[in-house]
Chains A and B, each alone.
Chain A
Amino acid sequence: MSLLSPSIHYVGCFSLVLIGLYVVLVKPNLIKVIIGINLMDTGVNLFLVTVGYIQGGTAPIFSEAARQPEGMVDPVPQALVLTAIVIGVSVLALALALTIRVYGHYGTLDLRKIKGLRW
């Protein structure tokens, strides 16, 4: 536990990325592959926020004028993740639209049956 406790957040986000990678590599269903991509996306976002976190830090928001800037976490990764989440949603929507087209064309979502994608 003492080995893991400083980097437990990193363990969590890399596990998310690896679980997502496993889903992308193994699952034959196209919808599940997209879910795996989304999991990897979440892991990367968590990683970015964790890099900017400091122990016991607070949100970088001045709720009253007397707040001191010391002890606030880094705002830059949070701003980047804010936009990255929206990018993730738009990528997800585009992927789902392409999936609808693939289903209309092949009549299946199984990647093993779709011609040209077998391995």
Chain B
Amino acid sequence: MRRLISLSLLLIVALGISLCFSGAYFGAEGANRAGKLAQDRVNFGQRYNSRGLEENGAGNIVASVVVNYRGFDTLGEVTVLFIAAVGLAVVLSTRREKPARVRAEPASLVVFTGCRFLFPLILLLGSYIFIHGHLTPGGGFQGGAVVASGFLLVYLGCRGKGLRSAGFTVTESLSGLAFVVLALVGLAVGGSLLLNFLPKGSALTLFSGGVIPIIYVAIGLKVGSELGSIIANLSGEAP
């Protein structure tokens, strides 16, 4: 019964969406709006594409948008991630009595050795991605996710070790503080939050883009440690 109701509902929704795309608009307003999505034009982003390089000195326009033009959004987004990590820790820590810790079966030799061999390399790759975020595809979020995947490998391969969350907390707090302080320094120097107040440097080199690479490194460390602490919290909870 439930399956039938859901299927019919979805069919109606799919029919509506397909009518939207096949051009069956109703009324004069609909005819005016026809084919808006199929237009092949960059509207607002064109300004960022054409002026971003000279205004911020960062080759990656997406990094420029994320950290500088829409940096305030990113600040809020990092806050959402922080709240989710805190909420996860709170939800998982409200157990009445700790169960007897189940002795985890050690991983096989291949996984153990692979973990010990690959963990530094994964950290290196992640930090490369977020340090070069203003030049190449990638950036703080992607690099942080790669770093966190290294922690996940530690959980899979070196079970005995256990991830300690104190280091994660310190890194996360310091990098979040760095982000906010840099944003406020821009406010103090030039009168707008997240102003790019550092010298731009020569374009398309590592030391370019002013404040963008510094904030991206802070974001990378913050995302990596937050996802790492999420993994540590979840892995301590195997039922």
Contact = CB atoms under 8 A, between A and B. Distances in A.
A30 interface: no
A47 to B, nearest CB: 10
B38 A52 contact: no
Residue with the greatest number of chain A CB neighbours at <10 A, chosen from B7, B22, B60: B60
B203 to A, nearest CB: 6
Nearest to B9: A25
Given A22-B7, A78-B62, A87 B81 contact: yes
Interface in A69-99: 69, 72-80, 82-83, 85-87, 89-91, 93-94, 96-98
B91 A97 contact: yes
A85 B141 contact: yes
A26 interface: yes
Interface residues of A, number: 51
B66 A79 contact: yes
A86 B59 contact: no
A93 to B, nearest CB: 5
B179 to A, nearest CB: 14
B27 interface: no
B139 interface: yes
Contact of A86 (B6, B37, B42, B81): B81
Residue with the greatest number of chain A CB neighbours at <10 A, chosen from B41, B59, B61, B135: B61
Contacts of B14: 14, 18
Interface residues of B, number: 63
B136 A86 contact: no
A91 B84 contact: yes
Contacts of B233: 97
A53 to B, nearest CB: 9
Nearest to A112: B2
B213 to A, nearest CB: 15
Given A10-B21, A93-B230, A82 B62 contact: yes
B37 A51 contact: yes
B81 A96 contact: no
A3 B22 contact: yes
Contacts of A90: 80-81, 84-85, 226, 230
Interface in A1-52: 3, 6-7, 10-11, 14, 18, 21-22, 25-26, 51-52
Contacts of B92: 97, 100-101
Interface of B: 2-3, 6-7, 9-10, 13-14, 17, 21-22, 37-38, 40-46, 48-50, 52-53, 59-62, 64-66, 70, 73-74, 77, 80-81, 84-85, 87-88, 91-92, 94-95, 135-137, 139, 141-142, 145, 203-204, 223, 226-227, 230, 233-234, 237, 239
Top 3 closest A-B pairs, CB basis?
A90-B84, A74-B45, A25-B6
